[in-house]
Amino acid sequence: MGEHGLVKRQFGHRARLALSPACELKADAQAHAARTMWNLLHVWWQMMPKEKRTLASADEAIRQARKDIDFLAVLPAQAAQAVLKTYFQAWKNCWDGRASAPNFKGRFRSVMAVDIPQGRDLNVVRVHRRWGMASIPKVGRVRFRWSKDLPVGKHSSKGNRITGARLVKDALGWHIAFRVQILEARPEPHQGPDVGIDVGVTVPIALSNGISKTHGEWLTKQEQAKLLHLEQRAAQRKQHRKPGERTSRRLHRTYDQIAGLRAKAKRRALDWQHRTTTAIARQYGTVVVESLTITNMVKSARGTIEEPGKNVAQKSGLNRSISGEAWGRTVTMLTYKTARYGGTLHKVPAPGTSRRCSACGFTTPGNRESQAVFVCKNPDCGWSGNADHNAARNVLHLYRMGLALIPTAGRAVVRRAQRVKPAAARQAGISLL
């Protein structure tokens, strides 16, 4: 928290890079060097005795590796130090129970990325309404898409500045993710109304006041047809590959085209989620959602050989639909956006919200006649309406009854750490950090 009622806010902003072929080759070389540096660190960690696994020894090892291996020199020294810090942090996350133990990074499995720890090295300027320029170490001056105002030039100060960035390559090309720190006025308490939210597949977001937030298909009909054609082509080419034979370049090219279309769909979904959650956070002071365990909801129904599951194909389709809507990401966006605009987000227990009548409180599985229609079976009520809006009203009702859940993430993390930390430490054979 700063002075005069100002608070410090840190966020990330991702922008598309417009790289020349030469600059793209340099960025690719740096990303491969960073991945190789990670793998060398992992080998060094496994070979060294536990008393010598220190940050200073690792720093000396990567400095020597940059001298002995020529292609590692394309990676800037600060980016190599960032790989080292990230690797040590990965072990800390493992011991604290927040992640699994770090492993080798494969060429095709891992994300190509390079870190730029110092924001002052970027020298970001705005040159056009749609474009900005930044300096990438050992790459040069590059253009990026200017889609958000950044603290540069006269708007840059000690409190408002770019602290660093990260180059990331996905199926749509290279992007730069800025780490931004700004000082802004503390938000006043939001005086807007309360609203309950029910997330679903048919209706992505249903509000308790009867408003629905929906979207269309993320890909056009032509793009969907092209994606189907590419998937069929990939399956045919994969059939002709012999066991143990390397994947052909044609098949890799087909996979890249498939990944490009899926990345385009994900980008459109993210844009819709950001716009929708921002509108909700601006309009409502208190947002109430269900506390859903999404990982359990998307488990496979295949079962075992002795006890095979039922309706496996239908459950698989439902799992894909739930994963495609990204309910957890929607809640995450609402959490930090409501706080930014002075509102609050609360979670309530999920069981029974879709079976309870919001008019009389009668609860039975028979109330839900279909996915979209709710009809109360209470003879004295008989209320009927949209099932999603009925669930959203029940979510808001639970909050007003004082049944909001207290966050227990800390205790959950402690229990996971008690299970994971000893096994991970014995596997790694370490006792430092």
Lowest-confidence region among 294-308, 334-348, 382-396:
294-308
Return the pLDDT at 198: 87
Write the pLDDT tens digit of every residue in 93-125.
Answer: 999 888 889 999 988 788 899 999 988 889 999
Return the pLDDT at 219: 92
Tell me what the mean pLDDT of segment 40-59 comes to: 88
Contacts for 50 with CB less than 8 Å, ≥ 6 apart: 428, 429, 430, 431, 432
Contact 208, 389 (CB under 8 A): yes
Write the pLDDT tens digit of every residue in 242-268.
Answer: 887 888 888 889 999 999 999 999 999
Q: Which H or E run includes 86?
A: helix 77-95
Q: Is the confidence at residue 151, as pLDDT, over 80?
A: yes
Return the pLDDT at 53: 85
Contact 74, 37 (CB under 8 A): no
What gap in Å lies between CA 113 and CA 31, rounded to an integer?
A: 5
Write down the residue that tokens 């109330």 correspond to.
Answer: 367
Write down the residue that tokens 């994947």 correspond to.
Answer: 247
Write the pLDDT tens digit of every residue in 390-426.
Answer: 888 888 888 888 877 776 443 333 333 333 344 443 3
* Whole-prediction pTM: 0.80
Write the pLDDT tens digit of every residue in 171-191.
Answer: 889 999 999 998 888 888 888
